[in-house]
Amino acid sequence: MKLLLHQSGEHIAQRYEILDVLGQGGSGITYRAKDQLTDQQVALKVLTLRQADNWKKIELFEREAQILSQLEHPAIPHYLDYFQVDLPEDRQFYLAQKLAESTSLADLVHDGWRASEDEAKQIAEQVLEILTYLHSLPSPVIHRDIKPRNLIRQDNHQIVLVDFGAVQVSEHGSETYGSTVVGTYGYMAPEQFRGKATSVTDLYGLAGTLLFLLTGRPPTALPEHHFKIDFRDEIEVSTAFANWLEMMLAPMPEDRFGSAAEALAVLKGEKNIEDCKSGIALQPAGSKVKLERSRNRMIINIPTIKLDPNSLFTALLSIGMMGLGVSIMWLPFSPDVISNVPAMVFCSGCGLPLIAAGAIFLAEVITRLTQFQLEINRTQFRLCWSLLGIKHQTSGNTADVDQVTLITKRLPWEENNTTKLCQIRAGLDIYQFGRELEDIENEWLMTELRDFFQLSA
């Protein structure tokens, strides 16, 4: 904790009366003060030349004042004043803003509050609207320190963004580079550790903040897998919102939403997440597959597909074909044609294909009635098929899995039609599933499985 520069009742520049301390951070100490000219309370931030570790902090402080003086948004405290006070052995820099009353999201969580999914979405929408404004300026403004402490929720539940001490300005579409790493660990996007930032850097900080609101724990306290925060087991939210959060938290900037405006459009249901360019595998819209995943465990449930009239017709047709085929095969053994070799050959040539085709059609229908589950942990995996209460189960060692891939099979009754299946290879053993799924669902499952097994395509 920094040594306080001012005490309650002290006057600064013959204008501001110190009331109490609002907060302390790397970019200075912020006081609650009273403006003697307007009789209004303000937030007065101060940084001294002596307490600054390097000139970079002075540069950031001056940049904060300069940028704030150009901003005009109801959710950003209004800039009021910037000045310096020279002392015999020091120089003090001051920044005055309109005071953002009420409580930070960090304090609300520390007091026991947890956000519901709807509350988290409402907060996200407000912050994204602020970020859309900042990122859409002629010279886009990147906050670089989106976190619970810097988001104030007022009594009317409106969110206010404060503390622009890490702010950076960039040209449209370009990265900003800095020699000093700024931000808050846990809420910093990976590229910030390399001194880089773009507008989507702020999206990562917002998503980390939302996880804190939902769990009560900072992102650093949540599991991590392949440099990604593995949060799905830690929160109870809809699949759509979890997919949205996962895209916001993508380690690579290019895998996040393209902008705050795009993230907002998806969150509000005005745009489909599948239409956003991303390297993140997202569950296809409308998919009934249930996937549960943590760092050491994955469960995939493929439910029974409801039979449609076409499937029922196919089932009846296949049974009829098989029955006809059996009847034709039985003809040579009737008293009238027994020992008639040509008749036996003819009946076999007609009956066998009918039985085979009927069996193939029936197998396709049965596939739609089959429920499938794949359960994997770090030592074993288990596959279970269930049909009308009859179960078949097989298992193997996770360490033996050396390939997960999509294979393409041609449907025997449709020469120009193919289907994709998921395939797991463990040594000499081959396991296939997913015939009843759409190709896009199998592609999504393969991406998830490869990531879990840490295998390349």
Token pair in block for residue 36: 């003697």
Q: How far is CA 384 from the centre of its chain?
A: 29
Quote the DSSP letter at residue 182. -
Buried b / exposed e along 156-179 (16+ C-beta atoms within 10 A): eeebbbbbbbbbbbbeeeebbebe
Q: What size, in residues, is the chain?
A: 457
Distance between CA 196 and CA 183 in Å, rounded? 11
Query: Is the Cα torsion angle 125, 126, 128, 133 positive or negative in sign?
Result: positive
At position 33, the amino acid (one-letter code) is A
Q: How far apart are the first and last CA of the chain?
A: 50
Query: Which one from 53, 118, 145, 155 is the annotated catalytic residue?
Result: 145
> Containing H/E element for 404?
strand 401-410
Catalytic-residue membership of 439 = no
Instruction: Quickly count: other Cβ atoms within 10 Å of residue 327's Cβ.
Output: 12
DSSP secondary structure letters along 371-400: EEEEEEESSEEEEEEEETTEEEEEEEEGGG
Are 368 and 305 spatial neighbours (Cβ–Cβ below 8 Å)? yes
From the list 86, 98, 15, 30, the residue with the least C-alpha distance to 61 is: 30
Contact 181, 195 (CB under 8 A): yes
**Per-residue DSSP letter, 2:** P
From CA 294, how far away is CA 223, in angstroms rounded?
8
Separation CA 342–CA 348 (nearest Å): 10
User: Which residues 6+ apart lie within 8 Å of 10 measured at CB?
Assistant: 17, 18
* Three-state secondary structure call for residue 254: helix
CB distance 15 to 35 below 8 Å: yes
Please give the positions annotated as active site: 145
